[in-house]
Amino acid sequence: MKPYQPGLVSFIIPTLPRNKFQSLKTLVKTRYLWDECVRDLKANVSLPNEVILVINGDEDVDFVAKAKSHKAVDKYLIASQNTGVPRGWNLGAHMAEGEYLCFVNDDVEVGPQAIERLVEVLNQPGVGEVGPAGTGWYKKTPGPHVGMEKIEPADNISGFLFLVKREVYDQVGGFDDAYTPALMEEIDFSFAVRDHGLSCLVVPGLDIQHHHIGGASSTNKPFVCLGREYWREEVTARNQEYFEQKWQKFWKD
């Protein structure tokens, strides 16, 4: 198990160059991207923390220069190409030194006391993962959101922001690279946490907003990862099949 600094929260944020005005859909949305995200984390989180930026692609010189010089970024990793979500999260986790690992999308806005509350709940006995949103499942089918009004267990915590202890991340072996480039890796992780006898809890009422600017699930365009072009429909079908086979013991009566 990797040594860590007690009490330290490591924020792990994969990102890649993105044009805010790429389409009408992104134009009308709130213009909130990685630089605002890391700025607000530093301003609004009172716990000791470090911000780790995983930059998936080095072709945009201006983007990389800005990330390297941003005062809210404590560590950064520059990949020569997009490594995908699970690999990006794992790379960030390998760089992290915190007792708590918080995986954050680069378009998520975090307000005061949100992370503090998540850490408080995570420290309760038997809790393995926490976040502001999550769902239940009925066999192979995802169900409705849970934890809308009170803290409730979920079958999976939504991937835009979630928090685990380093020791739990190590126990479950991190994120499964088989889901590269993206889709269902966060669901798989929650299933792995529960498979180790720990609960996943949704904590409502937090000052956290997901702006849905980026991510594989926010576009119907193909995306390039490790030199290959992927279509969302292709990846969804492949990852769904793999997920169902991997966790078939959850489907059995």
What is the per-residue pLDDT for 20? 47
What is the per-residue pLDDT for 144? 93
Angstrom distance (rounded) from CA 23 to CA 244: 34
What is the per-residue pLDDT for 151? 98
What is the per-residue pLDDT for 174? 98
Domains of the chain: 5-250 (3.90.550.10)
What is the per-residue pLDDT for 214? 63
Q: What is the pLDDT along the chain (253 residues), one digit of tens a residue?
A: 778 999 999 999 999 876 544 444 445 445 788 999 999 999 999 999 999 999 998 888 998 999 999 999 999 999 999 999 999 999 999 999 999 999 999 999 999 999 999 999 999 999 999 999 999 999 899 999 999 999 999 999 999 999 999 999 999 999 999 999 999 999 999 999 999 999 999 999 999 999 988 655 555 678 889 988 999 899 999 999 999 999 999 987 6
Confidence (pTM): 0.92
